[in-house]
Amino acid sequence: MSRVCELTGKGPMTGNNVSHANNKTRRRFLPNLNDVSLTSEKMGKTYSLRISAAALRSVDHRGGLDAFLAKAKDVELSDRARKIKREIAKKDGPAELA
């Protein structure tokens, strides 16, 4: 299981541990990933995704999974999230494919 958010593409970053003596050793900063179930109102389905806590707040802020995916860039989304976005767009019709 990869350590990448399925909605935002946020992944591990690298940096340094810096001791009191100013010794530097490499370390990894991992995203805060959670397994959540998000409901699509247009599809009437629940989707299980592995997303970061920041992405979960963004989904709530934008008004749900449907609104988040409509505004999200395809490059950042995982393959599963892109498939969900296409299903929602197909259900809406050609009006919201932009």
The CATH code of the domain that includes 20 is: 2.30.170.40
For residue 92, give the 3-state DSSP assignment.
Answer: helix
Overall domain count for the chain:
1
Residue type (1 letter), 73: K
pTM, entire model: 0.83
pLDDT in tens, 29-68: 999 999 999 999 999 999 999 999 999 999 999 999 999 9
Kindly state whether residue 32 falls inside one of the protein's structural domains.
yes
pLDDT digits (tens, 9 = 90+) for 2-11: 899 999 999 9
Terminal C-alpha separation, the chain = 32
Asked if residue 69 belongs to a domain, the reply is yes
Mean pLDDT of 58-83: 95
At residue 94, the pLDDT reads 63
CA angle 2, 87, 51 (to 5 degrees): 25
Q: Which domain holds residue 62?
A: 13-93
Q: What tokens were used for 87? A: 């299903």
